[in-house]
Amino acid sequence: MKRIIATAFAVVCAGSCLAAASAQDLVQTAGKNAKVVLDNDEVRVIELNMPAGASTGVHSHQDNVVVFLTGGKAKQTNADGTTKVMERKPGEVVWSGPVTHDTLNESGKPVRTLVIELKK
């Protein structure tokens, strides 16, 4: 009986760890490539400077807006394993609902964006 309880506890803990890993913060996963430039009760704005070939690491957002300061090509891999290749132009603005994903810069050049995360 103790073995069954210990096994069930281990499974629950492992699931919690996986959920926590999939909900990482962009500033943590992107490291030196991400910088918070504004943080208040309404929004958090992250300046993202992604070198060619760099990845953001798996992270999660709530509702957000992304402003592409430079253009580029990126491949997003969602939590479910699906992928999407996107081509963005400088000045393009994109809305996204809640998402967990990784983004890889496939441009061959640095890409700069502002990620505006809505808190309310």
Q: What does the alpha-carbon distance between residue 56 and residue 51 come to, in Å, rounded to a whole number?
A: 10
Q: What does the alpha-carbon distance between residue 77 and residue 100 come to, in Å, rounded to a whole number?
A: 9
| pLDDT digits 0-9 by tens, 43-101 | 999 999 999 999 999 999 999 999 999 999 999 999 999 999 999 999 999 999 999 99
Instruction: Give the per-residue pLDDT at 11.
Output: 40
Domains present along the chain, CATH in parentheses: 25-118 (2.60.120.10)
Beta bridge partners of 103: 76
**Confidence at 1, pLDDT banded by 50, 70, 90:** low
pTM value is 0.79
